Amino acid sequence: MTVSPAPVVAVIVVAAGSGTRLGAAGPKAFQPVNGRPMLEHALTGVFQMSEPAQVIVVAPPALEGDARAIADRVAGPLSGLVSVVAGGDSRQESVARGLAIVADGIRCVLVHDAARALTPAAQFDAVVAAVRATGSGIVPGLAVIDTIKQVDADGRILGTVDRSELAAVQTPQGFPRDLLDQVVAAAGDLTDAVTDDAALVAAAGHPVQVIAGDQLAFKITTPWDLRRAELLLAADLGAPDAAADRAAPRVGTGVDVHAFAVAPATTRDPAPGAADAASIAGLWLAGLHWPGEPALAGHSDGDAVSHAVCDALLSAAGLGDIGGVFGTSDARLAGAHGEVFLRETLRRVGEAGFRVGNVSVQVIGNRPKLAPRRDEAEALLGGILNAPVSLSATTTDALGFTGRGEGIAAIATALVYRLPGLPGAGSPHLSWDA
């Protein structure tokens, strides 16, 4: 059994504030944000850090049990790493209470506001890495965008502050453990005048460095901020991959095989009843008629290329396969040409919310020689599907049923795109209603 090494990083999550400016019924960190307590969102980022950390939740004295339940839910098997302590009257007092129970082996302490509930895990990792690299205090921050004025009590402008020298700082703020212990112990009576940990450390004469923060780490302070957090969560903007996934193309594969209606006499006896009307009429393949070539057997015209393309398109659009859509014995499809299947497939793919990007299909067999009519076949199939179709052919070096001249196989790949504003993949239609 491997024993994980004890963590060397601790994260103190301060969640003991009342949230006066939010104006909710109870303490801010326990207010729901899209149905889950703000603290739960905040801890989700903490537990997604790349290295496990000791986690200390500082909660209002009456809500330590609630905080424990939330932390256990997020931590899962790592719940042994979590402690909950009661906070104090000011943020700094709460930080001091958390700091008092940091474990012995911890080298680096991060202090994080539960109110910055959407802070990505990468921001925690970046702060830890920067503390390690510099040995000094690290604070994530963003450039200030607004023009900042200094004003007096009557609202008169006294001057403009040079914003190029300003940073709006966030949390987590990270420090070497010994440094934070020493500074907090020396600070004595901790009031709300100090609103962050970097201020204490800097006031004690130690360097604190700003690294790039993240817009998602904004602090939920007012009802407007809460609304913003809810909209971001609802739109999944915290996970931009969702939108990209919807826009991504989808691929599908289709394979079809048909035997020649009359197999070469040397290798195979004709199947009973195989020499039907189709074999007399000649071969149909890739939507084209090939007079003089041996016909393929099948309920329809046996056009393996068209059928493989239909299967690839249906699969890409999540609509099942050709057997499920068209059935294998519909009397209306006796002798039907590939074009009939392709047009109906295209209609269904469009109805399900997709357009065709392109189709590639390879024919495997000894004959017919495709090259002389490749352009003609590509133009015909591409015209039906209103998308580029490329056709290639190969033999199998005399191996297998294709090598023995018993039949033809076709393998198709199709790419489809979602049409904007349409629902996407629909449910398979299992009956033929053309």
Residue 255 dihedral angles phi and psi, to the nearest 5°: -130, 140
Amino acid at 33: V
State yes or no: residue 18 binds ligand CTP (CB under 6 A). yes
Question: Are the beta carbons of 111 and 169 closer than 8 angstroms?
Answer: no
Please, which residue, 69 or 379, has the CB nearer to ligand CTP? Answer: 69
Pairwise CA distance, residues 112 & 130, whole Å: 16
For ligand CTP, which residue of 108, 114, 187, 233 counts as binding (CB under 6 A)? 114
Pairwise CA distance, residues 306 & 341, whole Å: 7
For ligand CTP, which residue of 79, 136, 209, 221 counts as binding (CB under 6 A)? 221
For ligand CTP, which residue of 31, 54, 83, 90 counts as binding (CB under 6 A)? 90
User: What's the full length of the chain, in residues?
Assistant: 434
The footprint of ligand CTP on residues 227-256 (CB under 6 A) is: none
State yes or no: residue 259 binds ligand CTP (CB under 6 A). no
Question: Are the beta carbons of 190 and 96 closer than 8 angstroms?
Answer: yes
Question: Are the beta carbons of 11 and 172 closer than 8 angstroms?
Answer: yes
**Least Cβ distance, residue 4 to ligand CTP (angstroms):** 29
User: In angstroms, how far apart are the furthest CA atoms of the chain?
Assistant: 106
State yes or no: residue 213 binds ligand CTP (CB under 6 A). no
Pairwise CA distance, residues 327 & 147, whole Å: 69
**Least Cβ distance, residue 55 to ligand CTP (angstroms):** 14
State yes or no: residue 405 binds ligand CTP (CB under 6 A). no
For ligand CTP, which residue of 49, 58, 74, 314 counts as binding (CB under 6 A)? 58
Give how far Cα 59 sits from Cα of 79, 102, 123, 433, Å.
16, 16, 23, 64
State yes or no: residue 101 binds ligand CTP (CB under 6 A). no
**Least Cβ distance, residue 97 to ligand CTP (angstroms):** 9
Please, which residue, 109 or 408, has the CB nearer to ligand CTP? Answer: 109
Give how far Cα 49 sits from Cα of 95, 123, 200, 206, Å.
21, 9, 26, 27
State yes or no: residue 200 binds ligand CTP (CB under 6 A). no
State yes or no: residue 113 binds ligand CTP (CB under 6 A). yes
**Least Cβ distance, residue 159 to ligand CTP (angstroms):** 27
**Least Cβ distance, residue 67 to ligand CTP (angstroms):** 11
Please, which residue, 18 or 160, has the CB nearer to ligand CTP? Answer: 18
State yes or no: residue 191 binds ligand CTP (CB under 6 A). no
Question: Are the beta carbons of 325 and 429 closer than 8 angstroms?
Answer: yes
For ligand CTP, which residue of 9, 12, 16, 99 counts as binding (CB under 6 A)? 16
**Least Cβ distance, residue 196 to ligand CTP (angstroms):** 9
State yes or no: residue 97 binds ligand CTP (CB under 6 A). no
For ligand CTP, which residue of 7, 19, 37, 137 counts as binding (CB under 6 A)? 19
Number of residues that bind ligand CTP (CB under 6 A): 23
Stretch of residues binding ligand CTP (CB under 6 A), selected from 109-117, 224-232, 329-337, 402-410: 109-117
For ligand CTP, which residue of 4, 20, 164, 266 counts as binding (CB under 6 A)? 20
Question: Are the beta carbons of 402 and 408 closer than 8 angstroms?
Answer: yes
Name the residues that contact ligand CTP, by CB under 6 A. 14-22, 28-29, 58, 87-91, 94, 113-115, 219, 221
